[in-house]
Amino acid sequence: MLFSIQAQDNVTLNIILRPIQTITVNPLQKTVDLVYDSAEKYETEVTSIQEEHLEVFSSGGFAVQVSRTSLELDDVTITADPVSPNPTYTFIPVDLQESPTDLIIGGRGGRQKFNVTYNSHGAYFDKEYKTYTSEITYTITAR
C-alpha cells in the first residue's frame, strides 16, 4: 500500500498602492533671471526658456500648481510643455500670483520632464534700477 502524505497552508498576498507624487526643479536652474538690458526688451518682453526644468512623478492623475511670494512687479507669465509629447496632459498659461494656480494637469500617472518658459511683458519704464526678487513654488497634488 502506498501512502502519500501532503500538507498545505496558504498565504494572503496584498499589493497595496498608495498615492505618490514628487516634483523636482532642475538643480542647475534654481535661479531664473529676466534681464532688461536693451531698448527692445523694455518695449516688448523678456523670456527665459528653462529646458527640462521640472521633473514630475505621480502614481495617478495630478496637478502641478505654481505660486509666488509677493513681487513688486507684475506681468510675469509661466507656461510649460512636455519634453516628450504626451496627449494626457493639459497645460494652462499662468499669470504668476500669490495663490497656487494650475499649470499642468495630468490625467494619468507616470514620470515626465517639462520645459518651463518665464515671460515678463511688463512696461517697466521709470522703475527703480535694482533686482526685484520673488520665490516661485511648484506644488504637485493628486487629482
Q: Domain containing 25 — which CATH number?
A: 2.60.40
Residue 115 lies in a domain: yes
The confidence band for 41, taking pLDDT boundaries of 50, 70 and 90, is: very high
Question: What is the number of domains present in the chain?
Answer: 1
**pLDDT value, residue 73:** 80
Look at residue 5 and tell me if it is in a domain: no
Mean pLDDT confidence for 6-10: 93
Residue 130 has pLDDT above 80, yes or no: yes
The owner of cell 500670483 is: 97
User: pLDDT exceeding 70 applies to what percent of the chain?
Assistant: 99
Enclosing domain of residue 28: 21-142
Q: Provide the pLDDT confidence category of residue 4 given band limits of 50, 70 and 90.
A: confident
Domain presence at residue 92: yes
15 assigned to some structural domain: no
pLDDT surpassing 70 at residue 139 = yes
Structural domain contains residue 4: no
pLDDT in tens, 82-111: 999 888 899 999 999 999 999 999 999 999
User: How far is residue 117's CA from residue 90's CA, in Å, rounded to a whole number?
Assistant: 16
- Residue 49 CA to residue 32 CA, distance in Å, equals 9
Looking at the domain assignment, is residue 63 inside a domain?
yes
Cα–Cα dist 47/110, whole Å: 29
Residue 7 lies in a domain: no
Please give the pLDDT value at position 131.
92
Residue 118, in any domain of the structure: yes
| Predicted confidence (pLDDT) at residue 28 exceeds the cutoff of 80 | yes
* Residue 133, C-beta contacts closer than 8 angstroms, at least 6 positions apart: 71
How does strand 136-142 pair with strand 62-68?
A: antiparallel
Residue 86 CB contacts under 8 Å (≥ 6 apart), including other chains? 110, 112
| Residue of 41, 40, 45, 42 lying closest to 125 (CA atoms) | 42
pTM for this predicted structure: 0.88
